[in-house]
Structure 1
Amino acid sequence: MEQFDIAIIGAGPGGYASAIHAAKSGMKVALVERYKVGGACYNVGCIPSKILLEHSKLVQEIQRGNDWGIETPVINVNFPRLMQRKNAIIQELLANIEHFIASNHITFYRGEATVAADLTVTVGQETFVAKDVMLATGSKPFVPPFKGLKNSPYYTTDTFFEIAELPQQLTIIGGGVIAVEMAFSLAPLGTKVTMLNHSEDILQTEEPDARPIIREKMKNLGIELITNFQFEHFHGNDIYTSKGIYTYENLLFATGRRPNTEIAQQLELAFDGRLIAVNQHYQTSHPHIYAIGDLVGGYQLAHAASAEGIYVVDHIMGVKRTVVDQGLIPRCVYTQPEIATFGLLEEQVEQAYTVTKMPLNTNPKALMEGNVEGFIKLMTTKEDGQILGACVVADGATEILNAILATKNAGGTVSALANMIFPHPTVSEHIGDGAKAVFDKAIHQ
């Protein structure tokens, strides 16, 4: 029976990144995947949704050009060609991952894995053993058990990205990041989007000041947002709610995800509610079995899972590292404008701390680009200049945030940001001005 230093179950972002890191660190690695490399992120999640968002963003850029005087009388959306491009990009990315796996001499098993308590792993007719096992099996879409739903047609994100024609109408149930991004990806292309969110507001995990900006943009895109109601039941293509009946042509559930814990249940690992219980090193109740990503809570993000898996590999090898700090994991919403955040939100900071907010309507580059909806916000301590958190709402916010996060990771303070010379004109120079505002020395305020 072949023996490995580590067996990683799941080849999504957490699994394949961990496997490559382990192989480059000198470990003999087995990687198992029952579906496709890249997991949900690359196949039915963040990558296909972001590709559609780029298509929609381009349509909005063309429309803005018309407003400026660069006139394009007609915008024709060839949706099948857009989907062909989506498929081609994904196939190229998956081929890259397959290449990285092979070039690092990782033994790759395709199929459903079962794991025994003695760390024997079986995939189909093949069996091997590992010194340690990492579970990186990800999650699946959650659909609430609404009355009558079993007789109603609907999509989840696992099935939606295979559509061949642009929907004329789409109703999205949910109000979180996935739901809002899907609305932004379809509405500019010409789909009439209705979003049903029973809560009082959308994006409730995000910076509150960002939400009105996104709601207003949704309104401008023609997205109908219905909030603060109760679902009653489904009947065919009708959704009965406390606010009335909503009829749909196409329905997408974007109501969160649930972890794939089948292997953990078979092993009778300890659970913390619906999640696998782990210590700070992501070690389960079995000392040689680890779990990462969507299985253990925290942020359900690809880069979070990758960071956790790489940490596990280093821990197994005896490399001393600080544990993964959830406060340093960036959170991103790829709307237009984007929202990018790390650390504390304003509502979470104590009164003794300093919050500065620089609106983009005073930023030259933002004005040039026509992207003035947004702001750069810093949460800091004035006494020693520690950066507690940041939020950027802007076109390209997910890139702009990195300057603040890199400063924080390097041990820098808000003084370092205030003294940094940013290029002009850039949107990111508002970071420096926001840092100066901590000391009441902002230029554009």
Structure 2
Amino acid sequence: MAAKSFDMIVIGAGPGGYVAAIRGAQLGLSVAVVEREHLGGICLNWGCIPTKALLRSAEVFHLLHRAKEFGLKAEGLGYDLDAVVARSRAVAKQLSGGIGHLLKKNKVTVLMGEASLPRPGVVAVKTGAGVEEISGKAIVLATGARARTLPGLEADGDLVWTYKHALVPKRMPKKLLVIGSGAIGIEFASFFNTLGAETTVVEVMDRVLPVEDAEISAFAKKQFVKQGMKILEKTTVTQLDRSPGKVVAHLQDAKGTTTADFDTVISAVGIVGNVEGLGLEALGVKIDRTHVVVDEFCRTGVPGLYAIGDIAGAPWLAHKASHEGVMVAELIAGKHAHPIKPGTIAGCTYCTPQVASVGLTEEKAKAAGYTVKVGRFPFIGNGKAIALGEPEGMVKTVFDAKTGELLGAHMVGAEVTEMIQGYVIGRTLETTEEDLMHTVFPHPTLSEMMHESVLDAYGRALHM
């Protein structure tokens, strides 16, 4: 029997893959998606969405403890960890089911199974019933990534957890060690710390949230410490000695090695691309440190084969994957597509306080040869922030002193993950300080701080 043929086959139904499939179908292509586990991928099932649901529970719990400040009474406060986790899983399930509905509505063929590429233009799908081959004029790799494991620090699901274990914890940690202070590490540290775990975060770089602007990192660290977290920078975990109910961690810094006891460890030391078992090397696909090498249009160099999302390298963000999915579907359909500019992709971290950024940090802008003008505005100077009881935070903007181009924006504080999009649009439209100064920001809103930060860069701040 001849193999079923499609215009486009997408391998992986995460935020890159399912979006690529939907856009392809909208453009009139016949599309198949192959997924081995969950529609919606890591993001919907084990990442972005369920972690936000957990963090929302922690945020409400934290606010309940501040009830008196707001003239409210809340007594006998507690939580049910199983119920918190159950809510998170229900949110993930609802959204994953929604993806199935969207794919069906757009007439995308969904094949649940393990994919490989035995020869050019062909995808073999292995299911419980056997192997089925389908052919595609174009194939999009969207297989995502998984947690990196370091020798000796491997997760066991009991004492040492990955993000997956941390999302469905079988117990509440009492003494928690989080290895790595990127977005995943610091979000879990924030969650468990708020619920009462004695939390230590170890970071090998010289500061927490190392990809963020140094000033923002320093501000966030101060808040984490105030909340009771212990932060160890320029420190490596060299060894974990495991015994029933206890882990002894060997911590190495410039002064030497010390040990500390914990009952739970979360390893959040980065990710590796899911490139194995697909047959990519035999097709001539270039792989660099577990990631497929692509050009600005996500082409692998092998005719008709594209790679998007985490498998195609940094930044490892769901929204970058989705946008690449749309771009690739449009290319395959013969439309004019625009490559993504990495400098217009925002990063958001949902710890308390939240952190969000887009474009160049002050340090990177200077290193790139720019003469910069930098503006800052604190939450304490904003009426809405004070009314919300959220006076801790800041907005920072970086401009090219010569042209007025907005080079980067960096924020820490309540709801900054929602505010950053204003600057993202500004970067996309190649906004200057003049455009932003002439924009009328509504009052009273947190967004007014964005305006004030721009004004401050040019010595014109009104409320500071």
TM-score bracket for this pair, using the shorter chain length: over 0.9
Structure-2-length-normalised TM-score:
0.91
| Match status 1:261 vs 2:281 | no
The answer (yes or no) to whether the contact 1:378–1:391 under 8 Å persists in 2 is: yes
SS in 2 for 1:349: helix
| Distance (whole Å) between structure 2 residues aligned to residue 121 and residue 230 of structure 1 | 42
Superposition deviation, residue 275 in structure 1: 2.0
Q: Structure 1 residues 21 and 239 mapped into 2: Cα distance closer, same or farther (>3 Å)?
A: same
Q: Which moved more, 1:120-129 or 1:190-199?
A: 190-199
The answer (yes or no) to whether the contact 1:152–1:235 under 8 Å persists in 2 is: no
| Distance (whole Å) between structure 2 residues aligned to residue 382 and residue 416 of structure 1 | 15
Out of 249, 253, 273, which is 1:239 matched to? 249
Superposition deviation, residue 409 in structure 1: 2.3
Q: Structure 1 residues 149 and 425 mapped into 2: Cα distance closer, same or farther (>3 Å)?
A: closer
Partner of 1:22: 24
Q: Counterpart amino acid of 2:268?
A: A
Out of 94, 97, 101, which is 2:96 matched to? 94
Out of 439, 449, 456, which is 1:430 matched to? 449
Partner of 1:167: 173
Q: How does 1:123-138 map to 2 (within 5 A)?
A: 123-124=125-126, 125-138=131-144
Q: Which moved more, 1:39-48 or 1:20-29?
A: 39-48
Q: How does 1:188-199 map to 2 (within 5 A)?
A: 188-199=194-205
Partner of 1:57: 59
The answer (yes or no) to whether the contact 2:160–2:265 under 8 Å persists in 1 is: yes
Partner of 2:361: 345
Q: Structure 1 residues 114 and 193 mapped into 2: Cα distance closer, same or farther (>3 Å)?
A: same
Partner of 1:185: 191
| Distance (whole Å) between structure 2 residues aligned to residue 332 and residue 150 of structure 1 | 29
Q: Structure 1 residues 407 and 147 mapped into 2: Cα distance closer, same or farther (>3 Å)?
A: closer
The answer (yes or no) to whether the contact 2:45–2:92 under 8 Å persists in 1 is: yes
Q: Structure 1 residues 100 and 39 mapped into 2: Cα distance closer, same or farther (>3 Å)?
A: same
**CA deviations over 1:281-335 (Å, ceiling 9, x no partner):** 1111311111111112120000011111211111222222321000000111111
The answer (yes or no) to whether the contact 1:149–1:234 under 8 Å persists in 2 is: no
| Match status 1:209 vs 2:209 | no
| Distance (whole Å) between structure 2 residues aligned to residue 90 and residue 149 of structure 1 | 23
SS in 2 for 1:105: coil
SS in 1 for 2:376: strand
SS in 1 for 2:50: helix
| Match status 1:370 vs 2:389 | yes
SS in 2 for 1:186: helix
Q: Structure 1 residues 30 and 52 mapped into 2: Cα distance closer, same or farther (>3 Å)?
A: same
**CA deviations over 1:35-93 (Å, ceiling 9, x no partner):** 10111111111112111111111112112222344232321111111111111111110
Q: Counterpart amino acid of 1:59?
A: F
Partner of 2:229: 223
Out of 241, 248, 269, which is 2:262 matched to? 248
The answer (yes or no) to whether the contact 1:41–1:302 under 8 Å persists in 2 is: yes
**CA deviations over 1:401-436 (Å, ceiling 9, x no partner):** 112222332343221211111111111112222222
Q: Structure 1 residues 425 and 39 mapped into 2: Cα distance closer, same or farther (>3 Å)?
A: same
Q: Counterpart amino acid of 1:108?
A: V
SS in 2 for 1:435: helix
Out of 4, 12, 15, which is 1:13 matched to? 15
| Distance (whole Å) between structure 1 residues aligned to residue 262 and residue 12 of structure 2 | 36
Q: Counterpart amino acid of 1:401?
A: I
Q: Which moved more, 1:410-419 or 1:341-350?
A: 410-419
| Distance (whole Å) between structure 1 residues aligned to residue 342 and residue 133 of structure 2 | 36
Structure-1-length-normalised TM-score:
0.95
Q: How does 1:369-408 map to 2 (within 5 A)?
A: 369-408=388-427
Q: Structure 1 residues 47 and 404 mapped into 2: Cα distance closer, same or farther (>3 Å)?
A: same
**CA deviations over 1:379-414 (Å, ceiling 9, x no partner):** 123444321111122211011111222233234322
Q: Counterpart amino acid of 1:258?
A: V
**CA deviations over 1:225-268 (Å, ceiling 9, x no partner):** 22333433222121123342122212211111100011224534
SS in 1 for 2:211: coil
SS in 2 for 1:332: strand
Q: Which moved more, 1:263-272 or 1:355-364?
A: 263-272
SS in 1 for 2:160: coil
Superposition deviation, residue 140 in structure 1: 0.8
Partner of 1:39: 41
SS in 1 for 2:446: coil
Q: Structure 1 residues 223 and 438 mapped into 2: Cα distance closer, same or farther (>3 Å)?
A: closer
SS in 2 for 1:287: coil
| Distance (whole Å) between structure 2 residues aligned to residue 102 and residue 148 of structure 1 | 39
Unaligned segments of structure 1, at least 5 residues: none
Superposition deviation, residue 444 in structure 1: 1.6
Q: Which moved more, 1:363-372 or 1:62-71?
A: 62-71
Identity rate, percent: 29
Unaligned segments of structure 2, at least 5 residues: none
| Distance (whole Å) between structure 2 residues aligned to residue 150 and residue 435 of structure 1 | 48
Partner of 1:442: 461
| Match status 1:283 vs 2:283 | no
Partner of 1:409: 428
Partner of 1:314: 330
The answer (yes or no) to whether the contact 2:155–2:161 under 8 Å persists in 1 is: no
Q: Structure 1 residues 230 and 299 mapped into 2: Cα distance closer, same or farther (>3 Å)?
A: closer
Q: Counterpart amino acid of 1:185?
A: F
Q: Structure 1 residues 76 and 418 mapped into 2: Cα distance closer, same or farther (>3 Å)?
A: same
